[in-house]
Amino acid sequence: MTGGTPRPWEILQSSVVYSAEPWLRVLRQTVRLPDGRTISDYHRVEFPDFSIICAEAEDGRVVMVRMYKHGVGAVGLTLPAGALNPGETPIETAKRELREESGYAADHWRSLGTFAMNGNYGCGMAHLFHATGARRVAAPESGDLEEMQVVLMSRDELAQALQGGKIPLLGAAAVITLALWRPAST
């Protein structure tokens, strides 16, 4: 280990410079660093927290959705995911989004943790979940903007899709590997 213990910054001033609530808020902050320097234009970008779900059907295949994502500008494979509604807990959002986007429900759920999307700007927290024993209980009924196809994929197919650039979102890649992969022996 090298270097002294890292110390937090102090926020001296914070003001909203752009707002499109409830989806987006940009703040400009004045922060004081531990060494005494002051930075007057550090930004914070706020999105709603959201949940991402890796759900395995009873045959072990994973419930994926193929959809257009405007942040990517292309159609790709991803996991069911969505923002927390007001008053909703992350696991409630996960169950709702899985059902809305894919028509699947699952009894067994475990948390894979909560992670920040961007180390500098924030950009919301992602709550990651792994569900097993998922089964189709209804037709998808997403009220979102995107057209979607539900696709069941085996672990081998997912590994190939990740390697082949078919899964364009970092969040989906992280949840698939945290849920289904294990440390390789060195």
Q: Is 184 helix (H, G, I), strand (E, B) or coil?
A: coil
Q: How far is the CB of 107 from a copy of itself (least distance, A)?
A: 18
- Decide: is 135 part of the binding site for a copy of itself (CB under 8 A): no
Residues 42-81, one symbol each (x = binds a copy of itself by CB under 8 A, - = not), give xxxx-x------------x-----xxxxxxxxxx--x--x
**Sequence-separated (6 or more) residues with CB below 8 Å from residue 142:** 100, 101, 148
CA distance 8 to 62: 40
**Contact with a copy of itself (CB under 8 A) among 13, 14, 18, 92:** 18
Largest Cα–Cα separation, the chain: 58
Q: How far is the CB of 183 from a copy of itself (least distance, A)?
A: 5
CA distance 15 to 18: 9
**Contact with a copy of itself (CB under 8 A) among 5, 21, 36, 107:** 5
Nearest-5° Cα angle at 169, 104 to 153: 40
CA distance 111 to 102: 20
Q: Which is nearer to a copy of itself, 91 or 148 (CB)?
A: 148
CA distance 158 to 136: 20
- Decide: is 40 part of the binding site for a copy of itself (CB under 8 A): no
- Decide: is 141 part of the binding site for a copy of itself (CB under 8 A): no
Among positions 77-106, residues that touch a copy of itself (CB under 8 A) are: 78, 81, 103
Q: How far is the CB of 114 from a copy of itself (least distance, A)?
A: 7
**Contact with a copy of itself (CB under 8 A) among 40, 118, 133, 137:** 118
CA distance 113 to 178: 10
- Crossing angle for the helix pair 155-163 and 170-180, to the nearest 10 degrees: 140
Q: How far is the CB of 152 from a copy of itself (least distance, A)?
A: 8
Among positions 20-39, residues that touch a copy of itself (CB under 8 A) are: 20, 23-24, 26, 28, 31, 33-35, 37, 39
